[in-house]
Amino acid sequence: MEFQHVNAKVFVDGKLPFDPSRFINVFHRWIQEQALPELLIDVADYCHVPDGPGVLLIAHEADYSMDNTDGRWGLRYNRKAPLAGSNDDRFRQALSAAAKACCLLEKEPGATGLKFSRTEFEVFVNDRALAPNTPEAFAAFQSELKPFLAKLLGHDAFKLQSPTDRRRRLGVLVATSRPITIDTI
């Protein structure tokens, strides 16, 4: 099964230490500087939506957001454009893009106290037509993601938790007992 539109969300470690609207100016500056590899286009403020997308940085190939889905703040990378290569290539690209944005945000002068989790993140597919949340699709997803994560993390001391609600997108919460080095992903 080919998994396109792979998303990764790296959670904020603890509580978000400031008002999320602060990301609006940061993301506008990133557009001016073209701080990320995608063609950065615009910023949208959804902070008024409870448990929603927060502040969205819109790009041509993907979107980045400081996302509060399920009441948990985190940096979400949402790949929109198809990506050539293997599923491993797509997993790596999504996690790498999310990790790079997390590293940039942690170094932002106005983001004092912001730290992203080194033990917990999500990987999911934002395409219900290509990857429905069925037991068969989950088995295929897990069979490809597990060896990829073991190679990426350098160990298999992690757990994958799938959503129990079948209306959710196909994906997993990854929890590792050994902290990862986010800037090396």
Residue 73, pLDDT above cutoff 80: yes
- pLDDT, tens only, 154-171: 999 999 999 888 888 999
Q: Which long-range contacts (CB under 8 A, 24 or more apart) does 67-70 make?
A: 67/9, 68/20, 69/9
The average pLDDT across 90-95 equals: 97
Q: Which two tokens stand for residue 33?
A: 């500087």
Residue 103, pLDDT above cutoff 90: yes
Please, are residues 4 and 82 in contact by the beta-carbon 8 Å criterion? Answer: yes
pLDDT at 184: 67
The average pLDDT across 139-147 equals: 96
Q: Which two tokens stand for residue 59?
A: 């790009």
